[in-house]
Amino acid sequence: MEKVLLKGNEIIGEAAIRSGCKLFFGYPITPSTEVIEYLSANLPSQGGTVLQAEDEIGAINMCYGAACTGNRVLTASSSPGISLKQEGISYAAAVELPMVLVNVNRCGPGLGGLGPAQSDYFQSTKGGGHGDYRLIVLAPSKAQELYDYTMEAFDLADRYRNPVMVHTDGFLGQTMEPVVLKDRPEAPEVDQSWVVNGCKGREKRILASYSLTNEVGEENNLHWEKKYKEIEEKEQRWESFHTEDAEYLLVSFGTTGRICKSTVLNARKKGIKLGLIRPITLWPFPVKGIRPLVDQLKGIVTVELNTGQMIEDVKLAAECKVPIHLYRRQGGMLPTEDEILAYLEDIFQPDGSGEVHE
Amino acid sequence: MKKVFERTKGLSDAHFTFCPGCTHGTIMRLIAEVMEELNIIEDTIGVSPVGCAGFCQDFFTCDFVGAAHGRAQAVATGIKRSLPDKMVFTYQGDGDIAAIGTQHAIHSAARGERITSIMVNNAIYGMTGGQMAPTTLEGMKTTTSPFGRDPVSAGMPMDFPKIIANIPGAVYVASVSVDSPKNINKAKKAIKKAFQVQQAGLGFALVSILSTCPTNWGMSPVDSLDWLRENMLPIYELGVLKEIEEVKNL
Ligand SMILES: Cc1ncc(C[n+]2csc(CCOP(=O)(O)OP(=O)(O)O)c2C)c(N)n1
Ligand code: SF4
Ligand SMILES: [Mg+2]
């Protein structure tokens, strides 16, 4: 298997090509621009199309059109650009179009800064556009996962006929790391009996989301709801790290999820029974990863790069049976493993009676 | 009995839901006839907008995709880039293409996108009950210009096809009307040409069509046609606004 050294954003591009992505529509914005640059250089020679749109609204609507034809399509942007795409994402969710969206988060609000942030958690997981829809949201924490999850995103999008977002940040996007370019087993055959490609030999099809009859509207909502419930049931994903005997738990995703692993190891050296749940799917949120631990836990700290967004989902998952606190950095700052541990020690005063791992 | 006339295969037998005397129906029939004559119904994907124009998706017999308000040309771009051998057209109101969707109109022309766009200019926002459009005439009363469009605050009406005609990638731009049999025939010729331009892969084509909205203009169907002739024709110059050599030779 090929091993390469690439920037995080380039890895996303390579994963898309190897997933059979045929079209990319986007508009440059730091820190996501290497995705469109990499694909501009490498997708056309593979028979694909890259188009730099007039803006992100154009780009997402081009994705919408291309997705209607059943071809795999990708767009990538960063926070302000993702805001502009929200209208189109809502329409794509309504028409149930498979497509992959990458948000290389930067900090906000407003134009914000370029440093790593998780300030778009609410926007990604709670339906950033109008209407009651859900995106499947995957959160990689290192280069290999940028590759693996991007590939997975295309399959999930096809399987559920739903837009899927890869939620990453400028730290991951800009860092160079070695990645194994794993081959992917052939994508499973998906039902394409809905695509629009000219009505030769069949009834005409309409892909649209307009319903002026309330009864029909409710039927549509119930249909989407059923799909979202199925996804919640089947697709919750997380990584458990030293949780078996944990008395304290960190919950953190993406870049901070990775940092928290070091915090856990440092805590264990001090005899503190600390574990980590790193959500891989931000939606559906991995309730199943957290709830079974609740009875053994004395406290939870969520570590986030925002004012505390995911903590709401953690509280719901833990049914508020455990004290839950937030440790956060903002504006592009990253926490160190030590400051996270210091916070946890300060708040919970753990007794350090566990086995000491050196 | 010998059949001397039948509905074009480009239209389904669904009943038009437009108000009596609305010329949206006339325009849709012309497009449908052109698709039948060029034998492209099964190879065509239409993109519908939001507006009264949007109902077209139920009437044409080709595949259709419904776009968000103003986004039809971006959606059409995505379809065409994905399926370059298919015919792709947008059917849009004046508000859709010349207000909220302006950036897509200008840039699909600039890219020379191989799509055909039909703009239906009724100088008003029909579907939402008669608000001012970029094409609303000076002094014209609408629900959001109740004292008449005032150029000082609302500007002058925009002759959108003329703007598009200035863009190099737009290879065919025509401005037509459906107020009379003679003009209807000219409109059909222009629509046909705009589809042939796409078949030949020459670039972006736009046909702007002057149309009535008796309901929101507050007039009878016949008076609406008179009003269009008296008020819109002097402002929106009819004719082929742009045609590159290769298009002339089609
Ligand atoms: C984002 C958004 N803004 C506003 C609307 C409301 N809206 C629907 S149709 C329309 C105007 C349609 O006018 P036009 O494009 O001229 O079409 P017509 O109805 O006249 O054929 C507006 C403002 C909408 N659907 N979406
Ligand atoms: S409101 Fe106007 S544009 Fe809409 S169908 Fe009625 S007459 Fe036609
Ligand atoms: Mg109008």
Least confident of A186-190, B120-124, B158-162: A186-190
Biggest alpha carbon distance in chain B?
62
Rounded-to-integer distance, Cα A354 and Cα A273, Å? 6
pLDDT at A189: 85
Average pLDDT, chain A: 96
pLDDT at A334: 97
The residues lining ligand 1, judged by C-beta closer than 6 Å to any ligand atom, are B 50-53, 69, 93-96, 120, 122, 124-128, 133
B199 within some domain = yes
- Does residue B130 line the site of ligand 2, with CB under 6 A? no
Rounded-to-integer distance, Cα A147 and Cα A10, Å? 9
A212 in contact with B at a CB cutoff of 8 Å? no
Q: Which CATH class is domain A2-234?
A: alpha beta
A234-289 tens-digit pLDDT: 999 999 999 999 999 999 999 999 999 999 999 999 999 999 999 999 999 999 99
Question: Candidates B125, B213, B216: which one to mutate for ligand 1, based on the most atoms within 8 Å of Cβ?
Answer: B125
Q: Which helix (H) or strand (E) holds A89?
A: helix A79-95
Position A185 pLDDT exceeds 90: no
Position A183 pLDDT exceeds 90: no
Q: What range defines the domain where residue B84 resides?
A: 24-248
Q: How far is CA B15 from the centre of its chain?
A: 20
pLDDT at A357: 65
Identity of the amino acid at B117: S
Biggest alpha carbon distance in chain A?
73
B131-147 tens-digit pLDDT: 999 999 999 999 999 99
Percent of chain A with pLDDT over 70: 99
A192-212 tens-digit pLDDT: 999 999 999 999 999 999 888
B227-250 tens-digit pLDDT: 999 999 999 999 999 999 999 999
B2 within some domain = no
Q: Given pLDDT bands bounded at 50, 70 and 90, which one contains residue A82?
A: very high
B12 within some domain = no
| CATH number for the domain that contains residue B177 | 3.40.50.970
Same fold, A2-234 and A239-347: yes
**What CATH fold (topology level) applies to the domain A239-347?**
Rossmann fold (3.40.50)
Q: pTM higher than 0.90, yes or no?
A: yes
B5 within some domain = no
A26-37 tens-digit pLDDT: 999 999 999 999
pLDDT at A271: 96
Domains of chain B: total: 1
Rounded-to-integer distance, Cα B58 and Cα A258, Å? 52
Give the one of A49, A54, A61 whose C-beta lies nearest to B67's C-beta: A61
Average pLDDT, chain B: 97
CA-nearest of A186, A229, A208 to A97 is A208
Q: Taking the domains of chain A in order of start, what are their residue ranges?
A: 2-234, 239-347
Position A358 pLDDT exceeds 70: no
Segment 175-204 of chain A within 8 Å of chain B by CB: 196-201, 204
B16 within some domain = no
Rounded-to-integer distance, Cα A31 and Cα B245, Å? 44
